[in-house]
Copies of this chain bind each other. A is one copy, B any other.
Amino acid sequence: MKTLQTALSKDKISALFKEARFGIEKESQRVTLDGTLAATDHPNTLGSRNFHPSIQTDFSETQMELITPVANSPREVLEHLAAIHEVALRSMNKDEMLWPLSMPPILPEKDEEIIIAKLERFEDVLYRRYLARSYGKRKQMVSGIHYNFEFSPEMIERLYAEQTDIIDFETFKTEVYLKVSRNYLRYRWFITYLLGASPLSEEGYFTGCDDEVPDEPVRSIRNSRFGYTNHDDVFVSYRSIQAYVEEIEALVDQGVMSEDKEFYSPVRLRGGKKVSDLKECGVQYIEVRNIDNDPFAPYGITEKNIELIQLFLMYMLWLDNQDADKDQLLHDGDRLNNQVALERPLSQTAMKAEGLELLQGMKEMAEAVKLSDHLKELIAEVATSFAEPAKTLAGQLMTRVETGQSQHDIALEKGREYYEKAWAKPYQLAGFRDMELSTQILMFDSMQMGVDVEVIDRHDQFLKLTYGKQVEYVKNGNMTSRDTYIVPLLMANKTATKKVLGRAGFQVPGGKEFAAMEEALANYGYFAERGIVIKPKSTNYGIGITIFKDGASIEDYQAGLQIAFKEDTEVLVEEFLPGTEYRFFVINGHVKAILLRIPANVTGDGKRTIAQLVAEKNQDPLRGTHHRSPLEIIQLGDLEKLMLKEQGYTVEDILPEGSIVYLRENSNVSTGGDSIDITDDFDESYKQIAIEAVEALGAKISGIDLIIPDKTIPAIRDSRAYGIIEANFNPAMHMHAYPFAGKGRRLTQDVLHLLFPELPH
């Protein structure tokens, strides 16, 4: 079947050959920060395991199983795995972390202290009790990675079109996956050699009941006959889909296995829900199950090794061994794999020659199908691991152990490192740190609450959320189907917003709109003798705005107009409303948060200079840049220096104790301002006005800005106790979640409840 290689090398096929779909499932034990198996239940913030799409428990209550959605590239699947890791870690008790090894930490002496997962469905518990009896609880505590892999269906279609041997497409596709699986089983020692990462067991893992124990250290206890395998009497052929299905069914019928899913093969054929469906559906993808957790990777596997496994699977298809005996391949594979798994980690492998041969073949394939330079370099790099066993994962672990650090200590060190990393910026979400912060927080909450998240367009902050059968699209965190098309358009138009609110009886600043200087000047009298704000119609971050709190002379008025007309062809002159501005965040008829924003500032201590005080304030982990933190770094640029100068200071001045100095006129968080949550410190009357105003605009989600002269005086709708200056249709949520002071408000969760009313509270 050299013809297969020829076909795969054709441009129109090779391009698709490089494409694939990926899904990763990864188990880890939940432990305390000192490496003791956690005694707590699965975190209840993660909702019910009955449906949670990405965070489950496997055998024991402590064994978390993290499941990515299907992804289209190694990068993408790792991003999801990273995000799910952070959600899991930040949902656990603050003194717990994930054990980074496949081999479990030191287990309790008594078996009954290893708690079987507390699942609701009784049959799930029964199955685990059976496993405990059949294999022993300790063996079930071993963790690892399952790697689901599907070739591009279009590639298989095109391959199918190139041949005439097989008439039915589904049969052809199944044959492709059968070939890959058989070869994978035959050559999987290659993966065990490179990625095996379970050289040692912890004390008490093997017990007196074990007939025999491995001679540690080895490359992979988990992948050896001492690991997580079926009993010896289980053999299933991959020569045809019929054989595969029938032999598994027979083993279950004979009682050798309790269910299909007890078939612990390193490669499972997948399609439909049960093994018996395969005959009907054909093979849709395969599940590779022999990957040890990589303790050196924060998420148990690196992008490079995801690529390596893909390359290896591609080669398993490419490989020209049509004439080999199909069952013999499996027997050889088991033997060779067990042999490599039990080799000393730092020794040369007996399979080196075959390994280099495989690499040579992969290199030829890489040339023939025009793989990227990046993947060619990866092949070259792997070759060096055959020259230097210390470069393999087991090798790296044992190199450290030989310098005196125990495997347990290495695991502790790495586990804590990943724990610290997950908590360092709790407002961000690993894998998606380039996205808008409100979107990252919404994604975190979705994943935590068991809502499935798909990024439809990353650059555009466009998400697809699925809960049960309900699908909702969300853009920028709170642009949803719950609001109507016209409402944000109304809110985007300041004049229209004021008209609607004013007619509904709310207080809005009076004013006029001008398209020409002459017209604006002719109306000076209208604004004479009262405080005014002159601004471009489409304001942006306060640019072009002039405020005359006590009214303006005709000259001042003209100067202000000139500034505004520089920014826009239309200018608004509005009545100035005295008071403090508050952001009311309304969701579905409730005020969920009220925020006060104050300009960038520092408070003196009589010792340090302003520059030093700013530097210290900037140490706050909530402060960052480019809107990827809830607060921004305070700058000391020209504007800030000018502002200081006007107050008689330079940055080198020492500020008296307790005295506050402001570095900015405007209170925007984006220019270093502080955000202060005061939701609980507000009279109900103001909340009612905010709710009713948002309702008058027809919005479900809005951040509405009220100017309030004295918030201790209850408001009346038709009074000057407040004025509404703006309603925002895509209000920032992150600043409420992580305010500078006051209580954080998880508005993203409220958005999710608005979208999915059936989501449990």
Write the residues of chain A forming the contact surface with B, with a CB cutoff of 8 angstroms. Answer: 11-16, 154, 370, 372, 456-457, 459-460, 462, 472-475, 479-490, 493, 495-496, 499-500, 510, 522-530, 570, 698, 729
Contact = CB atoms under 8 A, between A and B. Distances in A.
A481 B487 contact: yes
A11 B522 contact: no
B495 A457 contact: yes
B14 A525 contact: yes
Contacts of A484: 480-485
A543 to B, nearest CB: 20
Given A473-B486, A486-B473, A529 B481 contact: no
A372 B475 CA distance: 50
A106 to B, nearest CB: 47
B525 A370 contact: yes
A511 to B, nearest CB: 12
B496 A485 contact: no
30 contacts: A11-B529, A12-B525, A12-B526, A14-B525, A15-B523, A15-B524, A15-B525, A15-B526, A16-B525, A16-B526, A370-B525, A456-B495, A457-B496, A459-B570, A462-B489, A462-B493, A462-B496, A472-B486, A474-B486, A475-B489, A479-B485, A479-B489, A480-B484, A481-B486, A481-B698, A482-B484, A483-B484, A484-B484, A484-B485, A485-B488
A11 B457 contact: no
Contacts of A154: 510
Contacts of A456: 493, 495-496, 499-500
Contacts of A11: 524-525, 528-529
Nearest to A697: B473
Given A15-B524, A459-B570, A462-B496, 8 more contacts: A12-B526, A15-B527, A154-B510, A372-B522, A457-B495, A479-B486, A480-B486, A481-B698
Contacts of A473: 486, 489-490, 496, 500
A473 B475 CA distance: 23
Contacts of A496: 456-457, 460, 462, 473
A727 to B, nearest CB: 14
A276 to B, nearest CB: 27
Contacts of A525: 11-16, 370
B485 A481 contact: yes
A489 B477 CA distance: 13
Which among A459, A472, A523 has the greatest number of chain B C-beta atoms within 10 A?
Answer: A459
